[in-house]
Amino acid sequence: MEIQWYPGHMTKAKRQMQEDLKLIDLIIELLDARVPAASRNPDISALGRGKSRLFILNKADLADERVTEEWEERFREDGVPVMTVDSRNRADLRSLRPYINEACKERIERNIRRGFKNRPIRAMVAGIPNVGKSTFINTVAGRASTKTGNRPGVTKGKQWIHLGKGLDLLDTPGILWPKFEDPSVGTALALIGSISQDVLNRDELAVALIGFLVSQYPGTLEEHYGAEEGRTAAGLLASIAKARGCLTKGGELDDSKAADLLLDDFRNGRLGRISLERPGASMIGGGR
Ligand code: GDP
């Protein structure tokens, strides 16, 4: 699948992030729990060298719980702290602090050794577009917190959210772009709606999703659309069009409308909790 890209935006966002990284101790990197590998940006490891890291598997409410557990296990094996949340839910973020303490353990101990017991941990949120960065910040900041600009002249215009107990959060998230070298990454990101649908062929995307659902989540299409899964993906798309009355003006079955409907149902969790990647294996094909 061909994907158009915007190097200008990428360069600007990367430069901005490099500047912001100078101000912080901890990068809180948001991943989409449905595609934790595809939504991870390898650049950030180089950009954030020497910084503490905490991973958030966000939108966990939309992902397959068993697969999310496998991912948590994988992160733990790699010695990386990871927290699984629905960022819209304040209760899910109540236990953020212990994860931050774990991620910044060495830094906190070093500060204490050096006599900087009250030095706050400064954190920034980073992740690909639409992964939930603003939602996360708003939910975390929703609790009693004050926003202030930083010292004038030093970091002009930066806003910090003081979360109390020695934790400051930069209120502008770092935007990262995923890598598209592997076409299955592009497909996975388009399926979750992270890439604008305009640049992708939605019929192809729907066909990829159908193939995936039939093999990994059998029964889903039958349950939601009454579509018999023995058919080809194109045949199944036609069944969905029929079941949902997706017709062209001339009264023909409209596959594109059915594709939109299916993708929308998937993105909004109406097909159930579905993960597109397991540790060590992308489950979604490269576009068809
Ligand atoms: P940003 O571009 O990374 O700042 O993403 P936003 O915070 O604007 O979120 C993008 C969309 O995802 C919004 O419609 C949010 O309501 C939704 N969203 C964010 N976090 C979650 C989550 O944990 N679960 C679900 N289901 N939706 C979420």
When pLDDT is averaged across residues 162-171 and rounded to a whole number, the result is 87
Rounded Cα distance between 248 and 14, Å, is 44
Rounded Cα distance between 167 and 152, Å, is 20
When pLDDT is averaged across residues 39-49 and rounded to a whole number, the result is 84
DSSP per-residue string spanning 105-168 = HHHHHHHHHTT-TTPPEEEEEEESTTSSHHHHHHHHHHSS-EEEE--TTTSTT-EEEEEETTEE
pLDDT tens digit sequence for 119-163: 899 999 999 889 999 999 999 988 545 555 444 444 456 789 988
Q: Are 179 and 42 in contact (CB under 8 A)?
A: yes
When pLDDT is averaged across residues 70-88 and rounded to a whole number, the result is 95
The whole-number pLDDT of residue 282 equals 59
Opening angle at CA 17, ends 13 and 18, nearest 5 = 120
Q: Which atom of ligand 1 is nearest to the CA of 127?
A: 3
Q: Is the CB of 86 under 6 A from ligand 1?
A: yes
Q: Residue with the nearest Cα to atom 9 of ligand 1?
A: 132
Q: Is the CB of 36 under 6 A from ligand 1?
A: no
Q: Are 59 and 83 in contact (CB under 8 A)?
A: no
The whole-number pLDDT of residue 207 equals 94
Q: Is the CB of 174 under 6 A from ligand 1?
A: no
pLDDT tens digit sequence for 180-189: 777 788 889 8
Cβ atoms within 10 A of the Cβ of 76, count? Answer: 11
Q: Ligand 1 centroid vs 104 CA: distance in angstroms?
A: 26
Q: Are 36 and 71 in contact (CB under 8 A)?
A: yes
The fraction of the chain above a pLDDT of 90, given in percent, is 57
Higher pLDDT, 130 or 195: 130
Compute the mean pLDDT over every residue in the chain, rounded to the nearest whole number: 86
Q: Which atom of ligand 1 is nearest to the CA of 173?
A: 4
Q: Is the CB of 172 under 6 A from ligand 1?
A: no
Q: Which of 103-107, 132-136, 166-170, 279-283 has the lowest mean pLDDT?
A: 279-283
The whole-number pLDDT of residue 256 equals 94
Rounded Cα distance between 39 and 30, Å, is 8
pLDDT above 70 for 173:
yes
When pLDDT is averaged across residues 25-32 and rounded to a whole number, the result is 96
Encoding tokens for residue 167?
A: 């934790």
The whole-number pLDDT of residue 131 equals 93
Q: Is the CB of 129 under 6 A from ligand 1?
A: yes
DSSP per-residue string spanning 256-285 = HHHHHHHHHHHHTTTT-S--SEETTEE-S-
pTM: 0.89
